[in-house]
C-alpha cells in the first residue's frame, strides 16, 4: 500500500527555526516571573522606608509600640498626647478574625464533606453556584449587611448588649466572606482522594460517614489546612467589612460586643482623615501595615512548613 501523500512529500517543518523563538518565549516568561519578585520587593521597600519615618520620631519607641495598650493616633491631634501601642489594633484584628474563623472553618469543612461525599449531582448543581454567589458579593455590600442585618439581629437576641458597630457582626460577615474559599478548596482536596481509599474503608466495614471522617478528611488534610490558612490570611487582611462594621475605636478588650478597630480599619481611617502627610500620626499607618504584613508573611511561611510536614508523612 502506498504511503499517504503527506508522508511522500516529506515537507516537514524545520526543527531548527524554532530554536530562536523558543528562547525568546522562555526569556519573556522569565521576565514576567521577575516582575512579580520586583513588585514584592518594591512593596517591602516602601513599607520599610515609610515606617522608618514613624520609628525615628522622638515620640515613639519600639518597645512602646509593641507593648503599650493604647492607640490614639487619630483621636489626639497633639503629638505629645498621642499614644502608639499596637496591641488594641491587634486585639481588634484578633477578635474579628477569631469570630470569622469560628464561622467559616467548621461550616466550610462540613459543607465540603457534604458536597464531596454525600450530595447527589442534583444538589451539587445548585449548592455550588449558591456558594459562588457569596464569593462574588462585593465586600462593601457585606459590610452594610453586617450593619443593617447582623447587628440589629444580635441586639434583638441579646436585648441591646451589642453596640451597633461591634466585633461580632464584622466577624460574622468576614466569616461569610471566607466560607466559599474554605469550602471549595477543601472540597477539591477531598475529591482528589482516590476512590480506592474509600473502597478500602467500606471494605473494612466503615459507614459512609466514618469513611469521610476517618479516611477522606485525614488523607486530604494538607489541602484542608492550606484552605484554612488562606482563609485566615484573607480574614486578617479584610478591610472593607471591618472599616464599615467593626467601629472606629481601638479597644484593648476581648469583649466581642464592643467596637473593635482592626489594623486594616485604622489604615483606612487614617488615609481618610485630615492628618497631614509627613506627620508621625500619618507615618504610623505604615508601622501598622508592616505589622500586618509580617503576620501574613509568617502565616504563609507556617502554612508551607505544615504542608510539607503532612506531605512527607503521606508519601
Partner 1 sequence: MSSVTPAIESEENPDALPDQTLIHIEKLNAWYGDFQAIHDLSLEIPKHKVTAFIGPSGCGKSTLLKWINRMNDVVPGARAKGRLAISGDASNDHAEINVLDPGLDVVGLRRKVGIVFQKPNPFPKSIYDNVAFGPRLHMKTSKSELDELVEWSLQKAAVWDEVKDRLHGPALGLSGGQQQRLCIARAIAVGPEVLLMDEPCSALDPSSTLAIEDLIFELRTQYTIVIVTHNMQQASRCSDKTAFFFEGRLIEAGPTEQVFTRPQQKQTDDYVRGKFG
- Give residues in contact with partner 1 (CB under 8 A): 194, 196-208, 210, 214-215, 218-219, 313-315
Provide, rounded to whole angstroms, the least separation between the CB of residue 105 and partner 1: 22
3-state secondary structure of 206: coil
Which C-beta is closer to partner 1: that of 297 or that of 314? 314
Q: Where are the alpha helices (H) located in 238-278, listed in sequence order? A: 240-245, 263-272
Whether 88 and 261 have beta carbons less than 8 Å apart is answered as: yes
Phi and psi torsions of 48, nearest 5° = -70, -50
Which C-beta is closer to partner 1: that of 218 or that of 302? 218
Provide, rounded to whole angstroms, the least separation between the CB of residue 223 and partner 1: 12
3-state secondary structure of 90: helix
Which C-beta is closer to partner 1: that of 36 or that of 315? 315
Among 107, 58, 94, 54, which Cα is nearest to 281's? 54
Q: What share of the chain is helix, strand, coil (3-state, %, to 5)?
A: 75, 0, 25
Which C-beta is closer to partner 1: that of 136 or that of 203? 203
Residue 149, CB half-sphere, CA atoms under 13 Å: how many?
A: 8
Q: What DSSP assignment string belongs to 203-230?
A: HTT--HHHHIIIIIHHHTHHHHHHHHHH
Which C-beta is closer to partner 1: that of 17 or that of 120? 120
Provide, rounded to whole angstroms, the least separation between the CB of residue 260 and partner 1: 41
Grid cell in block for residue 256: 466581642
What are 84's strand-pairing partners?
A: 71
Provide, rounded to whole angstroms, the least separation between the CB of residue 193 and partner 1: 9
Provide, rounded to whole angstroms, the least separation between the CB of residue 214 and partner 1: 7
Which C-beta is closer to partner 1: that of 87 or that of 119? 119
Residues in the chain: 315
Provide, rounded to whole angstroms, the least separation between the CB of residue 308 and partner 1: 14
Provide, rounded to whole angstroms, the least separation between the CB of residue 216 and partner 1: 10
Grid cell in block for residue 56: 525615628
Provide, rounded to whole angstroms, the least separation between the CB of residue 124 and partner 1: 14
* Greatest C-alpha distance within the chain: 97
Residues 6+ apart with CB under 8 A from 284: 54, 73, 84, 270
CA-CA distance, 207 to 209, in Å (whole number)? Answer: 5
Which C-beta is closer to partner 1: that of 128 or that of 214? 214
Which C-beta is closer to partner 1: that of 227 or that of 292? 227
Residue 262 sits at the vertex; the CA angle it makes with 261 and 266, to the nearest 5 degrees, is: 75
Whether 174 and 134 have beta carbons less than 8 Å apart is answered as: no
Amino acid at each position: 500500500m502506498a504511503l499517504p501523500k503527506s508522508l511522500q512529500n516529506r515537507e516537514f517543518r524545520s526543527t531548527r527555526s524554532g530554536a530562536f523563538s523558543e528562547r525568546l518565549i522562555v526569556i519573556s516568561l522569565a521576565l514576567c516571573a521577575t516582575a512579580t519578585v520586583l513588585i514584592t520587593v518594591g512593596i517591602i521597600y516602601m513599607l520599610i522606608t515609610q515606617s522608618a519615618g514613624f520609628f525615628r520620631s522622638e515620640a515613639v519607641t519600639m518597645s512602646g509600640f509593641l507593648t503599650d495598650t493604647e492607640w490614639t493616633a487619630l483621636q489626639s491631634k497633639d503629638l505629645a498626647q498621642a499614644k502608639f501601642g499596637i496591641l488594641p489594633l491587634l486585639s481588634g484584628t484578633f477578635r474579628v478574625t477569631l469570630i470569622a474563623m469560628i464561622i467559616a472553618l467548621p461550616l466550610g469543612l462540613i459543607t465540603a464533606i457534604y458536597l464531596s461525599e454525600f450530595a447527589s449531582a442534583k444538589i451539587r448543581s445548585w449548592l455550588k453556584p449558591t456558594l459562588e454567589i457569596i464569593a462574588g458579593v462585593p465586600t462593601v455590600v457585606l459590610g452594610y449587611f453586617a450593619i443593617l442585618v447582623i447587628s440589629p439581629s444580635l441586639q434583638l437576641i441579646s436585648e441591646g448588649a451589642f453596640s451597633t458597630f461591634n466585633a461580632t457582626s464584622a466577624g460574622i460577615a468576614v466569616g461569610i466572606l471566607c466560607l466559599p474559599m474554605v469550602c471549595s478548596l477543601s472540597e477539591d482536596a477531598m475529591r482528589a482522594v482516590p476512590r480506592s481509599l474509600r473502597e478500602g474503608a467500606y471494605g473494612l466495614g466503615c459507614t459512609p460517614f466514618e469513611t469521610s471522617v476517618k479516611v477522606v478528611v485525614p488523607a486530604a488534610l494538607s489541602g484542608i489546612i492550606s484552605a484554612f490558612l488562606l482563609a485566615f490570611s484573607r480574614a486578617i487582611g479584610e478591610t472593607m467589612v471591618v472599616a464599615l462594621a467593626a467601629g472606629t475605636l481601638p479597644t484593648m478588650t476581648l469583649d466581642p460586643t464592643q467596637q473593635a478597630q482592626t489594623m486594616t480599619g485604622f489604615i483606612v481611617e487614617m488615609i481618610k482623615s485630615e492628618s497631614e502627610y509627613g506627620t508621625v500620626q500619618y507615618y504610623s499607618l505604615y508601622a501598622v501595615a508592616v505589622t500586618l504584613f509580617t503576620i501574613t508573611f509568617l502565616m504563609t511561611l507556617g502554612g508551607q512548613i505544615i504542608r510539607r510536614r503532612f506531605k512527607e508523612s503521606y508519601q
